[in-house]
Amino acid sequence: MCGIVGAVAARPVTAILLEGLRRLEYRGYDSAGLAVFDGEQLQRLRRIGKVNILAEAEQQAPLKGVMGIAHTRWATHGKPTEYNAHPHMSGDKLAVVHNGIIENFEPLKAALIADGFEFTSDTDTEVIAHLIAQALRVKNDLQTAFLSTVSQLEGAFALGVVHTDYPNQILASRKGSPLVLGVGMGENFIASDQMALLQVTDRFIYLEEGDFAQVTADVITIWDKNLDKVEREIKVFEHGLSVAEKGEFRHFMLKEIYEQPEVVKATLQGRISATKLLEQAFGNGASAIFDQTKQVQIIACGTSYHAGMIAKYWLEDIAGIPCAVEVASEYRYRKHVVPENTLFLTISQSGETADTLAALREVQDKVLASLTICNVPGSSLVRESDLSLMTNAGPEIGVASTKAFTTQLVALLLFTLALARRSGLSEAREAEIVGALHQLPELLLAAVKLDASIESLSRAFAEKNHTLFLGRGPLYPVAMEGALKLKEISYIHAEAYPAGELKHGPLALVDKDMPVVAVAPNNALLDKLKANLQEVKARGGELFVFAGADHIKPEEGLRVEQMPDVPEILEPIVYTVPLQLLSYHVAVLKGTDVDQPRNLAKSVTVE
Ligand code: AGP
């Protein structure tokens, strides 16, 4: 989704802004632009396409100045054209960048047109620039005009505003969309996330909902939604500055797949002893909430939703607690029954997904408590939930979620143990599961080492148009996740089915042009799954099966990729890795944009 960068400094800021935009590319966008104040006027440059195109244009006609704002746009209102790209201006003195959607922009626009303002774009954002200009006519004070404008906006926004009559400051505000302030030495910044600014600072302030900030090179002043001046904590970015670099890897996605053994260790760190869950990991008050929990409602989107589906198997099996799972965009817009003592669990890599956040806000006062399993500290979901468990995966740059998913599963297993303890889980069984978790980094490493073999397998998919993924039990959501990965980065149509459903319809699709991938660990459902695979084989389907040692024999039309032996509880986590690698290599063979697939955004901060 749209990305914002702004800088006010004693040195030229154009290079900082362009580098910031490059670092936000992972969020997804279709045009980019910037406006820099050169001491006399605001110079604006906008281009369709990649940031490099904008940077090349800037080289031809350099923008010089110590204050500026920049933006990557992911089109919502109006096509991806240069005239719709941000920053948007009112007159030649005022420029605005915006992430989010202004839901009431149509009546605002009509009123502004009636007042004589001319619009040069189809965007909702342009109303913000004109509203500020209109308010400045009433009282010539930028802060007052900005605040009166913000009070008229409905929807979600993060905003950055500059004005040539106020040459050393950026005004910023957020409601529903993320915005951080970067704290430098004699220079300060704004951005959609800290990744954009790691080249200039590792100190950040996370604005809270409704906050308004005035950022100058030396001072940051923040007011809360009641316009009371507030101090917000400065947090130091802990992951090291290299997280924003690909290093030796060709793509961020591959780097992030390879990081899984390490980041899973970080998820487990301090949360388990040799034999036990350390429940204080869930924070103060968690134990009392877990004592009262009678039911869990999980809400998430995309990959995070698949993690929730797996957790349902675990919670009902190990903890004996009823669990419902639903995608946020459905849940938030339907009437739902919330049984008493429901713990509301959101799962999100970014912590900013608009639908998940809206579902939480909708239900908050109807539930026992809310817990989020999230990867971004300080994100909206973390701030607005009663409890949080961080996944500690470190920043995930590739749009296709990989390490975020496996660390979510680890966190969900810890959560399952916390509830299972209250429903009679024996110490021996807890020690067995915790023991398995201790082995997990090694098992993930073994799975990652299948890379070369999976690369060779991927050639069978690159020319195909459709693929079917099969799994049973908690491996069914793993199949769904495999299908999502393949479609989002290789653009091959992929569907997942619980293998038992094959003969109820999808078997009709199977022929030699429809490769079928099955995740088939050696568990109680293996024999059932083998029978399903025979159904595919009998129809001439080509099978690619990920299976434990010697449980399925390769034969003509059936290729077996041998997986390490895995404790049953960990199967969904470890068997995810080869599916990530498969989609990665298919996408590389097809030459698609692996880290920034078309039409997609990393953090879906608008509906
Ligand atoms: C998966 O590869 C996608 N990036 C997407 O489905 C993602 O999981 C979804 O948009 C939810 O994002 P979140 O985890 O940040 O809430």
Task: Measure the CA–CA gap between 5 and 35, rounded to whole angstroms.
Answer: 11
Residue 300 confidence (pLDDT) above 90: yes
Burial pattern 531-551, b for ≥16 Cβ within 10 A else e, equals ebbeebbebebbbbbbbbeeb
In which band, very low, low, confident or very high, does the pLDDT at 240 lie, cut at 50, 70 and 90? low
pLDDT tens by residue, 153-173: 998 899 999 999 999 899 999
Closest CA to 128 of 166, 96, 171: 96
The whole-number pLDDT of residue 314 equals: 98
Do 471 and 575 belong to one domain?
yes
d(CA 543, CA 560): 8
Whether 596 has a pLDDT exceeding 70, the answer reads: yes
> Is 454 in the same domain as 419?
no
Domain annotation covers residue 456: yes
Q: 430 pLDDT band (50/70/90 cuts)?
A: very high
Q: What is the CATH number of the domain that holds 512?
A: 3.40.50.10490
Task: State how far the Cα of 605 lies from the Cα of 353, in Å rounded to an integer.
Answer: 5
Determine whether 602 is an active site residue: yes
Preceding omega of 87 cis (within 30 degrees of 0): yes
- Tell me, in angstroms, the distance from the centre of ligand 1 to residue 484's CA: 10
Which CATH number goes with the domain that contains 118?
3.60.20.10
The proportion of the chain whose per-residue pLDDT surpasses 70, expressed as a percent, equals 99
Pocket test for ligand 1, best of 74, 193, 257, 353 (most atoms within 8 A of CB): 353
CA distances from 586 to 399, 422, 545, 560, 574 (A): 16, 45, 16, 18, 20
- Judge whether residue 604 has pLDDT over 90: no
- The CA–CA distances, whole Å, from 555 to 324, 543, 552, 560 equal 40, 10, 9, 9
For residue 533, what are the CA distances in angstroms to 106, 155, 460, 478, 537?
55, 49, 18, 17, 6
Rounded Cα distance between 581 and 590, Å, is 14
User: Is the same domain home to 222 and 256?
Assistant: no
Higher pLDDT, 223 or 283: 223
Q: Is the CB of 90 under 6 A from ligand 1?
A: no
pLDDT over 90 at 243, yes or no: no
Q: What is the 3-state secondary structure (H, E, C) of 286-329?
A: HHHHHHHCCEEEEEECHHHHHHHHHHHHHHHHHHCCCEEEEEHH
3-state class (DSSP) for residue 172: strand
Rounded to whole angstroms, the Cα distance separating 85 from 73 reads 6
**Amino acid (one-letter) located at 141:** D
Residue 467, pLDDT above cutoff 80: yes
> Of 425, 447, 469, which one is at a domain's C-terminal end?
447
Whether residue 242 is contained in a domain is answered as no
Q: Among the three residues 392, 417, 447, which one is the final residue of a domain in this structure?
A: 447
**Domain termination residue (choose one: 404, 423, 447):** 447
Considering the entire predicted model, what is its pTM?
0.80
Tell me what the pLDDT averaged over the chain comes to: 93
The arithmetic mean of pLDDT across residues 453-457, rounded, is: 95
- To test ligand 1's pocket by mutation, which of 304, 399, 607 has the most ligand atoms within 8 angstroms of CB? 304
Pairing of strands 94-102, 31-37: unpaired
210 and 256 inside one domain: no
> Do 443 and 465 share a domain, yes or no?
no
> What is the spatial distance between Cα 416 and Cα 332, in angstroms, rounded to a whole number?
25
Do residues 440 and 457 both lie within one domain?
A: no
| 128 and 214 inside one domain | yes
Q: Is residue 53 part of a domain?
A: yes
| Nearest C-alpha neighbor of 67 from the set 21, 24, 33, 17 | 17
Residue 205 pairs in a beta bridge with 181
Q: What single string gives the DSSP state of each residue in 112-142?
A: HHHTTPPP-SS-STHHHHHHHHHHHHHS--H
Cα 301 to ligand 1 centre (Å):
6
Cα 435 to ligand 1 centroid, rounded to whole Å:
30
Q: In the numeric block, which tokens belong to residue 584?
A: 């990665």
Ligand 1 atom index nearest CA of 303: 8
Instruction: For residue 467, give the amino acid letter.
Output: T
Residues 6+ apart with CB under 8 A from 250: 588
At 506 the pLDDT is: 87
Look at phi and psi of residue 238 and say left if phi exceeds 0, alpha if psi is from -120 to 50, else beta: alpha
- What is the Cα–Cα distance from 384 to 467, expressed in whole angstroms? 40
| C-alpha–C-alpha distance, residues 403 and 235, integer Å | 24
Whether pLDDT at 242 is above 80 = no
Q: Which two tokens stand for residue 569?
A: 């509880």
Do 223 and 305 belong together in one domain?
A: no
Does the Cβ of 342 fall within 6 Å of ligand 1? Answer: no
pLDDT at 515: 93
* CA distances in angstroms from 54 to 30, 399, 478, listed in the order given: 12, 22, 40
| For range 396-411, the mean pLDDT | 96
Whether residues 347 and 199 fall in one domain: no
Q: Is the domain of 504 the same as that of 534?
A: yes
Domain identity same for 549 and 594: yes
Q: 79-93, 324-338, 543-557: which has the minimum mean pLDDT?
A: 543-557
Q: In what order do the strands lie in the sheet with 42-48?
A: 42-48, 31-37, 67-73, 3-8, 188-191, 180-183, 203-206, 235-236
284 burial (CB, 10 Å; 0-12 / 13-18 / 19+) is exposed
- CB proximity list for 155: less than 8 A, separation 6 or greater: 100, 101, 102, 103, 104, 105, 124, 176
pLDDT in the model for residue 241: 64
The answer to whether position 572 is within a domain reads yes
The string of pLDDT tens digits covering residues 336-361 is 899 999 999 999 999 999 999 999 99
- Atom 16 of ligand 1, residue of closest alpha carbon: 348
Alpha carbon 102 to its chain's center: 22
| 399 and 534 belong to one structural domain | no
pLDDT at 245: 79
Is position 432 within any domain?
A: yes
- Give pLDDT, residue 342: 98
* Neighbouring residues of 555: CB distance < 8 A, sequence distance ≥ 6: none
DSSP string, 354-419: HHHHHHHHHHGGGSSEEEEEESSTT-HHHHHSSEEEE-------SSS-SHHHHHHHHHHHHHHHHH
Count structural domains, the chain: 3
- CA–centroid distance, 303 to ligand 1, in Å, is 5
Atom 5 (ligand 1) nearest CA: 302
CA dist 210 and 222 (Å) reads: 11
pLDDT at 308: 98
Q: Which atom of ligand 1 is nearest to the CA of 300?
A: 16
Looking up tokens 């030649």 gives 92
**pLDDT (mean) for 4-16:** 97
pLDDT reported for residue 306: 98
Show the domain range for 13: 2-237
The percentage of the chain sitting over the pLDDT mark of 90, rounded to a whole number, equals 80
Q: How many helices (H) and strands (E) does the chain have?
A: 19, 25
Which of 251, 346, 350 gets mutated to test ligand 1 (max ligand atoms within 8 A of its CB)? 350
**Which residue's structure tokens are 């400051």?**
169
